[in-house]
Structure 1
Amino acid sequence: MAPRANWKGFLRLSLVTCPVALYPATSESEKISFNQLNRATGHRIKYLKVDADTGDEVPNEDIVKGYKVDTDTFVEVTKEELENVALESTRTIEIDEFVDRSDIDPRYLIRPYYLRPDGKVGHDAFAVIRDTIREMDKVAIGRLVLTNREHIIAMEPLDKGLMGTLLRYPYEVRDPKEYFDEIQDVKVTKDMLDLARHIVDQKSGSFEPDKFEDQYESALVELINQKRAGKPIAPKERPRGENVVDLMEALRRSVGGAAAEGKAAKKPAKKTKKAVAGQKEMLMPIAGKKAAKDTPAKKPATRAGRKTA
């Protein structure tokens, strides 16, 4: 079942309009997440919204938004006043222009979404808009209101639907000169470039996301499973960076290392069972023990009155 739509409205190209729904194209729900606990009791920490001066808890219905003018002065803005800021993009994505994909600076990209027709009507109009963008090999630029703010969205065909990517406004992108001006101008010799190019050639390949593993996520799963099993946790030695003295020698050694990696990659790898990503892997039984449905997991000894994770 598809997740709930983040936005529903209309997609319009001139006089052609169709109802559409916008869905998040990515998710981080599979990643390990932690709760904050009271070390003394093991109970979860609860956050309260309190008045900064009186310390009294404030119910949600009494909380309004405020714009800070100075230290002690705020301009209050109600929910109704915000809703009265009428923008057509609240309900309609109006396609303003078409641009080449290469014209969009990667720094302006925020996050991707999927667009599809909403309901059983409008599929013909959606197909016309989608296929026109595909035929022209362009990206459609429009605007929509999401999370109470207007965003620029770049739309391009993806399979039978559209992928819409939210874009930043120019004022949100920092000037690189603030960070790069102090980089020294260095003359790189031809020999160094030749060695570096050789390393790049040996490591060149095609981008295949499936071959990348989230090593930190895997390490978290291993840590939690070890603690569930009551095993001692030994700190691992951190890798140390090498102090490069001779850049040419480091490049030559790198060429040799890249060549060795290339030979190892050509050898047929042993087939391994693909692990379930993220938190679902936590459902697997601890190594060396029977599955939970056969033998209940033994809880580690804890102090009286303390809850365990």
Structure 2
Amino acid sequence: MASRAIWKGQIRLSLVSIPVEIHSARNSGGRVSFRQIHQPSGKPVHYQKVVQGVGPVEGDDILKGYETDDGEYILLDPDEIDAIKLETKKTLELVQFVDAKEIAPIWFDRPYYVVPTDELAEDAYRVVRDALRQSGKAGLGQLTMRGKEYLCALRPCGDGLLLETLHYKEDIRDADPLFSSIEDEETDKELLEVATQLIDKKTAPFDASAFEDHYAAALKDLINRKMKSKKTPRARTKDDDGRPEAENVVDLMDALKKSLKEGKSSRSGATARSGAGSGGTRRKKAS
């Protein structure tokens, strides 16, 4: 399936602007996923937005609320939030460069592939890629997507560029309260030497393909075995619109079907004497 861009805009480096698209680097379809099924009916379980004392509500009636210190909510319409003008909605400006190794792993959030939008943008794209590669630097900037402004790091990745969203400082918990109780004593030299030798023995170039998700493999094996067994419980359901059916809708449909059957029964005598009428009934049912 073709990848769909989740952000379109430009990378700006000083006076140079490069039109680009950003695509998720994560393969969400590579893992086993489940739907929750209501066992008695065999139908998928849905979730509704419910207000206490009101019941299910429509999405159009929902606003965003910011809770104040006195327990009140400041209500904001989605259009008011969308109207906030941020240059980072369409532009990722590289405002600083740091050594790529200087960014500790704890700061990284999600990876994205960055590609030029057309052939005209490729020349400038390659220049930025090669300059970052040669210097060993990562470019820092900010962009807005999916309703949030992200801090980002841009660095080379194979023939292209990789953008990684970073956590802001306030997103990361201080480690000192957790690590402060660990005594900082000198390590036994003999034990340290043995541990270092063991690390050296097991050192090899990183290759993600050498590791298998054993849990996912076991799940797939379980599913395959269950599919082959005739004793496995099964549920067959048609989920057309992705929304739960209200009880009154079910009752109304049942009543209409019963009314339709009664109407056909009362006309069955006249229909049997008229070939045209019989054909008309069949055509209507087929449609």
Q: Shorter-chain TM-score: which interval?
A: 0.7 to 0.9
Which 5+ residue runs of structure 2 have no aligned equivalent?
Answer: 238-287
Matched letter for residue 11 of structure 1: I
Residue 40 of structure 2 is matched in structure 1 by 40
Tell me the CA shift for residue 186 of structure 1: 4.9
Q: What is aligned with 1:27?
A: 27
State the Cα deviation string for residues 126-176 of structure 1 (Å, max 9, x = none): 223222222332111111001111111111122332111111111111111
Task: Answer yes or no: is the 8 Å Cα contact 1:50–1:58 preserved in 2.
Answer: yes
Q: Percent identity over the alignment?
A: 35
Q: Which residue of 1 aligns with 2:18?
A: 18
What is the match of residue 156 of structure 2? 157
Contact persistence 1:89–1:143 (CA under 8 A): yes
Distance 1:301 1:141 in 2: 53
Q: Return the alpha-carbon distance in structure 1 between the equivalents of residues 27 and 65 of structure 2.
A: 31
Does residue 3 (structure 1) correspond to residue 3 (structure 2)? The answer is yes
Contact 1:19 1:121 in 2 (8 A): no
- Say which one has the larger Rg: 2
Contact 2:21–2:116 (CA under 8 A) maintained in structure 1: yes
Equivalence for 2:222: 223
Structure 2 residue aligned with 1:289: none
Relative to structure 1, the CA distance from residue 101 to residue 65 in structure 2 (aligned partners, 3 Å threshold; closer, same or farther) is same
Return 191-200 or 77-86, whichever deviates more. Answer: 191-200
Residues 87/206 of structure 1: CA separation in 2 closer, same or farther (3 Å cut): same
SS of equivalent to 2:120: coil
The CA deviation at 1:35 is 0.9
Q: Deviations over 1:161-194 (max 9, x none)?
A: 2111111111111111121122244553222222
Q: Secondary structure at the match of 2:209?
A: helix
Cα gap change, 1:93/1:307 in structure 2, threshold over 3 Å: closer, same or farther?
same
What is the Cα-based RMSD across aligned positions, in Å?
A: 2.1
1:171 corresponds to which residue? Answer: 170
SS at match of 1:53: coil
Query: Is it true that 1:307 corresponds to 2:244 in the alignment?
Result: no
Structure 1 residue ranges, 4+ long, deviating more than 3 angstroms after superposition: 184-188, 299-302
Q: CA deviation at 1:69?
A: 2.0
Q: Is 1:182 aligned with 2:181?
A: yes
Three-state SS of the structure 1 residue aligned to 2:181 is coil
CA contact (8 A) 2:10 2:17 kept: yes
Please say if residues 109 and 167 of structure 1, whose CA atoms lie closer than 8 Å, have aligned partners that are also in contact: yes
**Is this contact kept in 1: 2:94–2:140, CA < 8 A?**
yes
Structure-2 residue corresponding to 1:74: 73
Question: Matched residues in 1 for 2:166 and 2:232: separation?
Answer: 52
The SS at the match of 2:165 is strand
Name 1:131's counterpart in structure 2.
130
The match for 1:102 is 101
SS in structure 2 at match of 1:121:
helix
Structure with the largest fraction of helix: 2
Cα contact 2:226–2:232 (8 A) shared by 1: no
User: Partners in 2 of 1:132 and 1:201 — Cα distance?
Assistant: 33
Give 1:115's aligned residue: 114
| Secondary structure of the structure 2 residue equivalent to 1:183 | coil
How far is the alpha carbon of 1:3 from its aligned partner? 0.7
Which residue is equivalent to 1:192?
Answer: 191
SS of alignment partner, residue 66 of structure 2:
strand
Deviation at 1:119, TM superposition (A): 2.9
C-alpha separation in 1, matches of 2:40 and 2:179 = 48
What's the CA shift for 1:97? 1.2
- The match for 1:147 is 146
Q: Contact 1:97 / 1:140 at 8 angstroms: preserved in 2?
A: yes
Q: Deviations over 1:260-299 (max 9, x none)?
A: xxxxxxxxxxxxxxxxxxxxxxxxxxxxxxxxxxxxxxx4
Moved more, 9-18 or 113-122: 113-122
Aligned length: 237
Equivalent in the alignment of 2:85: 86
Normalising by structure 1, report the TM-score. Answer: 0.71
Q: Distance in 2 between matches of 1:59 and 1:70?
A: 28
Change (3 A) 1:187 1:21: same
Secondary structure of 2:29's counterpart equals coil
